Amino acid sequence: MMKMMSNSKIRNFSLFMWLCVFITVTVTVTEAEKKKDELYFKPFNVTYDHRALIIDGHRRFLISAGIHYPRATPEMWPDLIAKSKEGGADVIETYVFWNGHEPLRGQYNFEGRYDLVKFAKLVGSSGLYFFLRIGPYACAEWNFGGFPVWLRDIPGIEFRTDNAPFKEEMKRFVSKVVNLMREEKLFSWQGGPIILLQIENEYGNIESSYGNGGKQYVKWAARMALSLGAGVPWVMCRQQDAPPDIIDTCNAYYCDGFKPNSNHKPIIWTENWDGWYAQWGERLPHRPVEDLAFAVARFFQRGGSFVNYYMFFGGTNFGRTAGGPLQITSYDYDAPIDEYGQLSEPKWGHLKDLHVALKLCEPALVAADSPKYIKLGPKQEAHVYYASVHPEGFNLSLSEYPSTCSAFLANIDEQKAANVTFRGQIYTIPPWSVSILPDCRNTVFNTAKIGAQTSVKLVEFDLLLASKVLPAQQLTHHNGISQISKSWVTTKEPTSIWSKNSFTALGIWEHLNVTKDQSDYLWYSTRIFVSDDDFLFWKENGVTPKLTIDGVRDILRVFVNDELIGNVVGQWVKVIQPVQFLPGYNELILLSQTVGLQNYGAFLEKDGGGIRGSIKLTGFKNRDIDLSKSSWTYQVGLQGEFLQFYSEESDKAEWVELTPDAVPSIFTWYKTYFDAPGGTDPVALDMESMGKGQAWVNGHHIGRYWTRVSPKNGCEVCDYRGAYGSEKCLTNCGKPTQTLYHVPRSWLRESNNLLVILEETGGNPFRISTKLHSARVVCAQVSESHYPPLQNMANADFIAQQVSVNSMTPEMHLRCQDGQLISSITFASFGTPGGSCQNFSRGNCHAPSSMSIVSKECQGKRSCSIKVSNTVFGGDPCQGVVKTLFVEARCTSSSSDGFFQNSEAVSSF
């Protein structure tokens, strides 16, 4: 065609094409620039006084939700942020994880789960502020506390003290993060969401270990941070000697008594521990929401201005990111949003109500320089916030009124309720609770009275993993349910030196100095000669030779001539292991395993792993053998790791069919394919049939697994009253600490998903199954004496006492999770019912219309509300008695064909 054109036409056509290209490039660049220059807020400055952060010239009291971006997938982030905002958060908080962002020195990673910029922009686009805790030490039960392991190898380095090599590296990374945020225009003065930064982290806990070097380091860290020109305030948590321009803050279960080191700084609670972490072989912590709400209400009652929930969403320690010692893969943290991204009720709902009540108080809280204290009884007190002039910056018609008053009434008695008189009225306050009165008259919330629903999360069977490796077979289980069997293939991992990259050296080398944390595993191999005289000596004297080691961590496995003879688990525990040798040369192999590097404490760079101290063989005829000076061959990692058996592209393994009657074996790889469960419910792998190892799905490392069982004792009945600690209200006694492992939906295809398992101790992969994690049952109980719905009060009319009687009637609210509808009401009674969720029962007083009224109002809807009054239920079923409405409902996927409605829940979560 071009050959047929005239020269002029060719020139015109070429010009036209260049013009198209120019326009396309210009439009593309313009759109990219526009996106980069997008303002999430009108630019504003952030300062502070003794009372609060000052946002754009106005004091604010703020609720912050902790979410660690790498503990979720980017696909989960928008929903997590939205649920946090709906729950009352003004701010999203996160640590920055240095080892994730700089895995190799000078090589940065800000992609995928580590795309910090994307996460920050999602926060801003949601209308929320961002609190960025750069550190760069995080702790966070994260591997090595967030430090990259290569940092240990810098000559002369000492972490977190007045040490030039460390300070140089720390400044370089902190500058990298601050400059990146500035380039992306993410600071508040640029129209971005970042209002607060943190340098260091809980250093005050260990500062004394470093002497004067620690004191100098704190001053340097502050100067360095301020020199970066971020333009927003910096904090140091748990740092009583924080310099004047840095806000020192509180981390604890309770911070209502905390005071910063200057009366010019606001009271900030950077970590409100709403749960606790778990370790392999331990019980699961649970913090009652009544106590959590009490702690938050007391904090604001006594002058607090900013609280961050640690965690609001805990998430998952994917890969080998879990810290040590022995942190589990789940980082659920008993948070208001669970590991799978679903609401944990009633924790999320009760806190949401608390936050609404607190927001009603915000005009008075920020206007008053300090509260007025009133003693109401021996363990009862009130704090009153009163402002004669309504503060600016609030879009409420309260400014029409000449005064603003809010009060908190607290009963810190752990056992008894109390009747107190406040401003001429009598108030009943349950034990260990706070009542909130936004207008100093009407109680709208009490921390011990839960009106939010309870959601019962059930883990339901999907089909057992259906393999495409080999033809599927039908198996009928003892319960008569026919399910598709799994066909697995397997290959053995060598339990000896396997690589040409192994090396030999004298003495015992420290674990991390060899592995650089490229693997959990380090093999030590040496040869032991046993003479005939030694054998005769043992036989005649009944002596057994022993391997003794001064200290090992986290796991040590002992092999003699390729046979596993002993396992040791612990933190720098002494080893005395009987061994059996053959005459002549024997191969002694030690396998050292880390299960998360130490994440907390002083001198982390010296902590290390593997073997510490002397190692010797005792019991020989003429002498003990000092193996500390012997020649050892070292091998890092497993063959399957370095050949990437878990990769979809890998063809290096010699897989063979696994038969159902195969004897479980140690250090074995298993592989199968499976179809993703239908629907949108979160997916988990049930690994209860396995021992210990690691798992990958479609090449994604979902984490370590271990069926280590927790102690049988220690799970007493939980009472929210009284001070909480991590040993109170424990759950899951006598069961494996973790059996279910989150597989994000975004990592799954509809079919042919590759699952690869590395099993260390022996297990049965045929019993691995996928399960769906979902809240299928919701319950609630609200009495006619309960507080009116807070959403009806969250306006100026409430303060002006211009609320209709109908709006003040208590309401019950029920809601299924996204994608579900209320399919049936399984219990409803207005009267005097009793029991607990999934075990409700009618009382002597019962309104016959209860079931029909609730079913009509709720069935077929995602959410519903019912007023709790005699009028709604056709009259008073029993006069002179306070009635309560109890309801239990069943939620079903809106796209379901009825399968889940009739499916049997196999275990509660």
Q: Which residues are catalytic?
A: 202, 271
C-alpha span between 280 and 737 (Å, rounded): 6
Concatenated DSSP letters of 857-886: HHTTSSEEEEE-STTTTTS-SSTTS--EEE
Tokens 């991204």 appear where? 341
Burial 554-573 (b: 16+ CB within 10 A, else e): bbbbbbbeeebebbbbeeee
- Quick one: 399 exposed, middle or buried, by C-beta within 10 A (0-12, 13-18, 19+)? middle
Biggest distance spanned by C-alpha atoms of the chain: 109
Cis peptide before 346 (omega within 30 of 0): yes
- Quick one: 58 exposed, middle or buried, by C-beta within 10 A (0-12, 13-18, 19+)? middle
Closest CA to 780 of 290, 344, 346: 346
Tokens of 687: 């690994």
Distances from the Cα of 811 to the Cα of 455, 498, 782, 783, 821, angstroms: 17, 68, 7, 9, 20
C-alpha span between 572 and 386 (Å, rounded): 57
Quick check: 266 and 50 in contact, CB under 8 A?
yes
Distances from the Cα of 34 to the Cα of 111, 122, 129, angstroms: 21, 16, 21
Quick check: 74 and 341 in contact, CB under 8 A?
no
Cis peptide before 325 (omega within 30 of 0): yes
Quick check: 249 and 230 in contact, CB under 8 A?
no
Closest CA to 557 of 669, 690, 692, 670: 692
Closest CA to 845 of 835, 834, 831, 858: 831
Cis peptide before 311 (omega within 30 of 0): yes
Quick check: 367 and 387 in contact, CB under 8 A?
yes
C-alpha span between 843 and 854 (Å, rounded): 18
